[in-house]
């Protein structure tokens, strides 16, 4: 069993790689959506954005990786956690922001479900090495 930070480093790497590709491929859509929602171009606040990833990684590690007894269990728990976290964010936005689209709500929830499953699977695999 791996001790130390290797599972978290691997989880962070998987998150950066996967989410980086996702955000790059959907950059134009996100720019247009947020311009419509806030009537101004998207401007990222980098410290809070970084803290979002820290919270996601900590939650996935604690609630999906650590208690799991198999890779499949970690993937399922990660997927459920991603669905809950991204769903809370996206459904709140859809409920309260007039121009927040259903397409963004659905696609981001699906992405969060996949991403957290991937990260949980990565963390579990590295933890068991």
Q: What is the DSSP string of 12-60?
A: HHHHHHHHHHHHHHTHHHHHHHHHHHHSS-----HHHHHHHHHHHHHHH
72 domain residue, yes or no: yes
79 domain residue, yes or no: yes
Q: pTM for this structure? A: 0.93
76 domain residue, yes or no: yes
Percent helix, percent strand, percent coil in the chain, to nearest 5: 80, 0, 20
- Model confidence at 72: pLDDT above 90: yes
Q: What's the total number of domains in the chain?
A: 1
- For 24-68, how does the pLDDT look when each residue is reduced to its tens digit (9 = 90+)? 999 999 999 989 999 999 899 999 999 999 999 999 999 999 999
1 domain residue, yes or no: no
Q: Which domain holds residue 89?
A: 6-127
95 domain residue, yes or no: yes
């Amino acid at each position: 069993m791996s001790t130390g930070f290797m599972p978290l480093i691997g989880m962070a790497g998987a998150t950066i790689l996967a989410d980086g590709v996702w955000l790059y491929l959907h950059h134009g859509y996100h720019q247009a959506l947020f311009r419509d929602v806030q009537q101004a171009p998207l401007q990222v606040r980098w410290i809070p954005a970084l803290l979002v990833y820290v919270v996601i990684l900590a939650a996935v590690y604690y609630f999906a990786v650590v208690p799991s007894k198999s890779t499949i269990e970690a993937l399922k728990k990660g997927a459920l956690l991603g669905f809950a976290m991204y769903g809370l964010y996206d459904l709140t936005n859809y409920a309260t922001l007039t121009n927040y689209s259903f397409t963004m709500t659905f696609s981001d929830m699906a992405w969060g479900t996949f991403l957290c499953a991937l990260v949980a699977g990565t963390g579990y695999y590295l933890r068991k090495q």
